[in-house]
């Protein structure tokens, strides 16, 4: 487990870029109908943004909290752009995204303290 976490810490920027790309494509690709997948829309937002926050919060590069704030702003921009690409922007999605970011930070902090034996936030 520790070696996997070390890989995440080492390649956090690449993982973050891949997750941002996936979120952007999935959020802005025009669809006639949303695909049927398990869970609710808000659950998907929560998980996606939790996954986005995790590598950054685990690696904790300099000014990592600014990354998290940037992700929240990015999330709001996505919600504003969605109506222009045949999607629905919804402010409750922004709330789910923010909650996901927060929980992603908490999980990364827990992982750092338990598995990497580092001091928590």
Q: What local confidence, expressed as pLDDT, does residue 66 receive? A: 97
Q: What local confidence, expressed as pLDDT, does residue 71 receive? A: 98
Report how far apart, in Å, the C-alpha atoms of 40 and of each of 8, 26, 31, 47 are: 28, 15, 17, 11
For the chain (121 residues), the mean pLDDT of every run of 10, in chain order, is 83 97 94 74 96 96 96 97 89 96 96 79 59
The predicted model scores a pTM of: 0.90
């Amino acid at each position: 487990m520790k070696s996997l976490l070390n890989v995440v810490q080492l390649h956090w920027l690449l993982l973050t870029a891949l997750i941002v790309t996936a979120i952007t494509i999935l959020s802005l690709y025009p669809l006639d109908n949303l695909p049927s997948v398990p869970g609710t829309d808000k659950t998907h937002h929560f998980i996606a943004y939790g996954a986005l926050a995790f590598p950054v919060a685990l690696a904790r590069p300099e000014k990592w909290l600014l990354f998290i704030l940037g992700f929240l702003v990015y999330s709001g921009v996505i919600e504003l752009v969605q109506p222009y690409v045949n999607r629905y922007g919804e402010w409750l999605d922004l709330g789910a995204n923010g909650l996901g970011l927060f929980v992603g930070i908490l999980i990364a902090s827990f992982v750092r303290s338990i598995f990497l034996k580092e001091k928590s936030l």
